[in-house]
Structure formats: structure tokens, C-alpha cells
């Protein structure tokens, strides 16, 4: 049977010959080739031998891939790979079944001559400023130059984790970039949340690009500590960030190939003309507030979860929390801690994942102390995750959850006994696919489930809200739920809503939905895309790009977005390829 090395040798020969049939023969009929920039200068998955062969025959000569190698041991049927193209250096992962590939992953790691300025490529640091200025003065002058007519190549709207990640990558590539954020300080997105919030994913999964968390960092980062870290990160990466700066509108001037972006900075209006705008407002930036009959008559406090300050001072109060996903659970638990009486209104079923399951089962092989100590690096772990085409991810996730539901049956039964409506994703694929489809519909349990089960968090499930009255809510079954306060943990709007608001409904329409991969499930209609829509890659609107995702995705995919922007900045002759 052929091993990774043998297959790569064949691949090399076949690419040289560029023979359609021979290429197809390298893969199983259901084989998949996921490529991030290396071959198609796009983020795309080619499914089945026909699609793969079509891509390769169209691109092979141009791409000029060679020097295929692997560190896999002889005889291995899967392993990390490396290669070069005319443009750059690539890495990836290969999975064989018999003599054929089940899945090949290729990614462009760096562009030759335009690598990240790290390691041996770092600057000397010696200050040789003709005006005799210090490093701090030069840095300040750079950030303020955009006030004085200098245009950044890239304007990043939002300086949360996603904005900072792409800002950092662009700094490493020497692309002039400005970030703007409406908050007074970098990290305020996190600081402003409720007191007990921590990151739900463990530290090994959450590193930012280039500056990993140090070895003493807690497993689950407290939200204020995350805020401080991001603020330090912006300094450490020498990012130009204008805080207290809100983007109020943006319009693309196709003739000039640049945007007119209107900013309000500390109350003043400034218009910039960057050729590229990156929307980094997050999957959770745009508060989604429902409107119930009678809502205006409510005499207590009423707010969206993102504006809820936490349970301090709410002891003894009846607080209704509408929603049953992450924020709703966290807020209810925090209310319990502060002696309030929360009532959770669950309007649709929720996918519950215990944090211990996430950390100790799902993430452990790749992102854990054990993984680190066995030699797994963040880079390899990320590549391993990315190397699985979403078709296969779905299959794997379904099998995993079949098992987990059995393993965790007592926990789930206890929740159901409390009346909680559970699901495991529409097709049983659970949280990982859920996240890629809609980033919603789940709670990563850090303790609130026990409170639901034992009644400390009162639950009303499966019954709609009829109307709001001055002292509470009336549900569809006629019952009255008294409330001193109502918190709508009803989630966040989509990235395309930001586009409609800041640019125009027409551009939002043209660009289409962001996020989701066309799984054909609720909230993520088809057609099947196999990659996240519009994320980290060209959109139908020239000069408009999207960052998004959790810390892990921001870390990994910022590399690709940054390389595409670097190519624009350097006017490199590269164009994304699309299957016709």
C-alpha cells in the first residue's frame, strides 16, 4: 500500500504531467481537496474527483507546486506535508485510504519575499530617525498620520480579538493599517460584560497570533483579564488603534478604488479613503432585541444581555431572562450568585455541552496541557482542524455526539427532568458544526445547568411570550411571570446587518449572507459551500472583507486574509479561481 511519501511523489509527477484522469485517480471518488490560497488563491473545498481534476488542470501550470515533502514516518497513511509553489511556501495534511486520498489539505503559509517579519526577519530596533525622535514618538506620529491625510491601505472596523488579529498579521507583513473601535479602551468589549464571565474555551485554544499566552495563564481567562491582555496585545504588536472612534458610514468609490469612510473620533468627524475595509465587528456585535406587545408599559428595567451589568445589587429581585443559550445561562447563574431570582424563558431547544466535555474530551487531543507536553504545537493543532473538510467534519461530529450522548446520559436526563428542551443540532452534529452554521443555539455549561436542574434558576420552557405587562410577562398559557427586570438574551444580528447599516442595503444584498457554509439546516440554508461564506476571502464587493470567529478561527484565518491584503498592497498578480 502506498504511504504519504509515495502518494506525494505521485502527486508531484501528476501535477507536472497535468493529466486530468491521472489526477482524478489519485483520489477516492468521494475524495476532497481543501485548499486555502495555495492552489486557487481562495478558500475553497473541491469535492469529488471531477471537481478536483477540474481545479488542478486549470491551475497546476500557474501554481507551479513542487518540493512535496512530509515528516510522516515511512508507511504512514496520514501526516503533515509541506510544499512550495511559484508564489510561496505551503503546508498541509494528507489522509489516505488505501492508495488514494480521502482528503488533501493545502494552505499557503507565506508568500516568498513577503513573509511575516518574525524570527530572523525581525527588525533591528535601532532607531535611526532623521528627526532624532524616539520610538514612541515615531509610533505616535504613525497613528496620527491618518488624521493628516495619510491613507491606510486597510481600515479595520472593530478592535476586538478579530480586528486585533488581522491588525497584527498586517503589521507583521508591513501593510499600513488603522483600526477603529467605538470603546474608550481596547478590551472594553470584554470589560463591560458581567462579573463572572470567563472565556468558555481553554487557554490552549485561545492564543492570539504571534503572542501566545504565557505558561501561567489560567485555563479559562476571566473577562477583565482578557480585556487587559488585548490592550497589551495592541501595544506589543504596535497596532494603530483609534479608540472612542465610531464608523458611521462607508461608501465605495469604484472609480478611485477606495472607500469614503466616515468616522466620528472623540466627537469630530473624519473621512478616510482606504482601498480596503475589514469588518471585524464580530458575530456578536449587533444586539438583537425582540419587540413584544406591551413592552413599553413595563415598569422595571429592560435591556439586552450585552447591556446587562451583572447581578450586583439585584438580591431578592425577580429577573426574567428571555433566551436559553450561552448568555442567558451565564446571566442566570450570576443572578443566583447575587441572590436574585432568575426565571429563564426557553423559547426553543438548546444544545448543551458541558465545559468539561469540551475541554477534556473534544479539545484535549489538540488543545490541552497534555497535547503541549506531547509536542503538539498550536500551529499543528490548527492545521489539523482546518485539514478536515466540512463534509467529513459533519460525519465525525455526528459520530462523536452519538457517543457523548450515551456517555453523558445521566446529565442530560436530569436536565430533561427539569423540563429543559434539549437538542444536539438539527442533524445530531453538535456544537462544532452549530458554531460554523449560526454561532448560536448552544450553552457551554460552566455550572448553570445544575442550577436549572435543582431549581435555583426557574425555567419556563416550550411556552411563548404573549405580551409584557407593567409588572411582568404573560405567557401563551395565560400564566403571569412577575418581573422586576427583563433581560433579552436573544442573541446578536448578523454581519450582513452591519453592512446594510454602515454601507447600504444594496451592498448587503450583493454580498449576501456571511458565516454559515450552506449546510441546509435552520439558519444556514444551502446551497452547500463547504467553506464559511464571505469570511476571510474576497466578497462580491471589491475592497470589502470580513473577519470573524472565536479566538481560534481569528488566529488561524487572519493569516489568509492578511496575505490576500498584502498581495493587493504589493500589487501581486494573483486572482482567486472559481469553479465555473
Which residues contact its own copies (rule: CB under 8 A)? 116-120, 122-127, 132-137, 139, 171-172, 191, 195-196, 198-199, 203, 210-212, 214-225, 228-229, 232, 235-237, 310-312, 334, 337-338, 369, 372-373, 446
Smallest gap from residue 129 Cβ to its own copies (A):
8
Task: Tell the smallest beta-carbon distance from residue 391 to its own copies (Å).
Answer: 35
Phi, psi of 532 (to 5 degrees): -65, 135
Question: Are 379 and 416 contacting, i.e. CB atoms less than 8 angstroms apart?
Answer: no
User: Which run of H or E residues covers position 461?
Assistant: strand 458-461
Minimum separation from the CB atom of position 257 to its own copies (A)? 30
Instruction: Indicate the residue among 74 and 120 with the shorter CB distance to its own copies.
Output: 120
Cβ proximity to its own copies: between 99 and 115 the closer is: 115
Q: Is 253 helix (H, G, I), strand (E, B) or coil?
A: strand
| Residue 440: CB minimum distance to its own copies, A | 24
* CB-nearer residue toward its own copies: 214 or 410: 214
The 3-class SS string of 165-216 reads: HHHHHHHHHCCCEEEECCCCCCCHHHHCCCCCCECCCCHHHCCCCCCCCCCC
- At its nearest, how many Å lie between its own copies and the CB of residue 278? 20
Q: Contact at 8 Å (CB) between 265 and 244?
A: yes
Q: CA–CA distance from 450 to each of 185, 197, 202, 413 (Å)?
A: 36, 17, 21, 12
Q: Which is nearer to its own copies, 337 or 572 (CB)?
A: 337
Closer to its own copies at the Cβ: 214 or 527?
214
Residues 88, 34: Cα–Cα separation, whole Å? 17
- In the complex, what is the shortest distance from the CB of residue 316 to its own copies, in angstroms, rounded to a whole number? 14
CB of 193: closest distance to its own copies in angstroms? 9
- Asked if residue 257 lies in contact with residue 543, where contact means CB atoms within 8 angstroms, the answer is yes
CA–centroid distance for 334 within its chain: 26
- For its own copies, the closer CB: 181 or 334: 334
Side by side, the strands of the sheet bearing 66-70 are 43-47, 27-36, 100-111, 88-97, 78-84, 66-70
197 vs 281 by CB, closer to its own copies: 197
C-alpha 348, offset from chain centre: 24
Cis ω for the linkage preceding 527 (within 30 of 0)? yes
Amino acid at each position: 500500500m502506498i504511504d504519504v511519501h509515495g502518494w506525494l511523489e505521485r502527486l508531484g509527477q501528476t501535477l507536472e504531467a497535468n493529466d486530468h484522469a491521472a489526477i482524478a485517480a489519485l483520489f477516492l471518488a468521494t475524495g476532497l481537496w481543501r485548499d486555502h490560497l495555495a492552489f486557487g488563491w481562495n478558500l475553497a473545498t473541491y469535492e469529488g474527483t471531477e471537481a478536483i481534476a477540474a481545479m488542478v488542470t486549470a491551475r497546476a501550470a500557474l501554481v507551479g507546486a513542487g518540493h512535496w515533502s512530509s515528516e510522516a514516518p515511512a508507511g504512514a497513511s496520514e501526516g503533515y506535508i509541506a510544499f512550495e509553489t511559484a508564489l510561496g511556501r505551503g503546508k498541509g495534511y494528507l489522509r489516505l485510504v488505501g492508495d488514494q486520498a480521502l482528503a488533501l489539505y493545502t494552505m499557503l503559509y507565506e508568500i516568498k519575499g513577503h513573509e511575516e517579519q518574525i524570527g530572523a526577519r525581525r527588525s533591528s530596533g535601532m532607531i535611526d530617525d532623521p528627526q532624532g525622535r524616539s520610538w514612541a514618538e515615531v509610533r505616535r506620529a504613525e497613528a496620527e498620520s491618518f488624521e493628516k491625510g495619510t491613507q491606510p491601505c486597510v481600515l479595520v472596523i472593530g478592535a476586538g480579538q478579530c480586528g486585533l488579529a488581522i491588525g497584527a498579521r498586517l503589521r507583521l507583513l508591513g501593510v499600513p493599517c488603522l483600526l477603529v473601535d467605538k470603546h474608550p479602551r481596547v478590551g472594553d468589549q470584554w470589560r463591560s460584560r458581567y462579573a463572572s464571565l470567563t472565556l468558555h474555551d481553554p487557554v490552549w485554544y485561545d492564543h492570539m497570533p504571534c503572542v501566545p499566552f504565557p505558561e501561567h495563564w489560567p485555563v479559562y481567562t476571566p473577562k477583565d483579564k482578557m480585556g487587559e491582555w488585548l490592550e497589551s496585545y495592541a501595544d506589543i504588536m504596535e497596532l494603530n488603534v483609534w479608540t472612542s472612534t465610531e464608523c458611521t458610514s462607508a461608501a465605495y468609490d469604484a472609480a478611485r478604488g477606495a472607500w469614503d469612510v466616515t468616522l466620528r473620533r472623540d466627537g469630530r468627524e473624519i473621512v478616510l479613503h482606504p482601498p480596503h475595509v475589514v469588518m471585524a465587528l464580530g458575530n456578536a456585535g449587533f444586539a438583537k432585541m425582540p419587540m413584544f406587545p406591551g413592552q413599553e408599559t413595563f415598569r422595571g428595567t429592560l435591556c439586552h444581555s450585552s447591556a446587562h451589568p451583572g447581578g450586583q445589587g439585584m438580591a431578592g429581585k425577580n429577573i426574567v431572562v428571555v433566551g436559553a443559550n450561552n448568555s442567558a445561562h451565564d446571566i442566570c447563574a450570576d443572578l443566583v450568585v447575587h441572590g436574585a431570582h432568575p426565571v429563564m424563558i426557553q423559547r426553543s431547544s438548546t444544545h448543551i455541552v458541558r465545559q468539561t466535555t469540551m475541554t477534556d474530551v473534544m479539545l484535549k487531543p489538540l488543545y490541552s496541557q497534555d497535547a503541549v507536553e506531547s509536542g503538539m504545537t498550536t500551529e499543528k493543532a490548527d492545521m489539523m482542524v482546518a485539514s478536515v473538510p466540512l463534509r467529513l467534519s459533519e460525519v465525525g461530529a455526528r459520530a462523536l455526539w452519538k457517543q457523548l450522548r450515551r456517555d453523558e446520559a445521566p446529565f442530560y436526563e436530569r436536565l430533561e427532568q427539569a423540563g429543559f428542551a434539549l437538542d444536539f443540532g438539527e442533524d445530531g452534529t453538535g456544537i462544532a458544526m452549530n458554531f460554523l452554521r449560526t454561532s448560536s443555539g448552544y450553552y457551554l455549561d460552566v455550572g448553570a445547568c445544575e442550577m436549572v436542574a435543582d431549581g435555583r434558576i426557574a425555567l419556563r420552557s416550550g411556552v411563548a411570550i404573549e405580551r409584557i405587562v407593567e409588572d411582568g410577562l404573560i405567557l401563551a398559557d395565560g400564566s403571569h411571570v412577575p418581573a422586576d427586570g427583563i433581560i433579552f438574551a436573544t442573541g446578536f444580528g448578523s454581519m450582513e446587518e452591519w453592512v446594510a447599516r454602515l454601507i447600504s442595503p444594496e451592498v448587503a444584498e450583493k454580498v449576501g449572507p456571511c458565516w454559515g457554509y450552506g449546510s441546509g439546516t435552520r439558519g444556514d440554508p444551502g446551497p452547500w459551500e463547504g467553506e464559511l461564506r464571505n469570511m476571510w476571502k474576497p466578497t462580491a464587493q471589491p475592497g470589502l472583507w470580513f473577519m470573524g470567529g472565536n479566538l481560534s478561527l481569528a488566529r488561524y484565518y487572519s493569516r489568509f486574509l492578511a496575505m490576500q491584503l498584502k498581495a493587493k498592497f504589493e500589487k501581486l498578480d494573483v486572482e482567486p479561481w472559481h469553479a465555473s
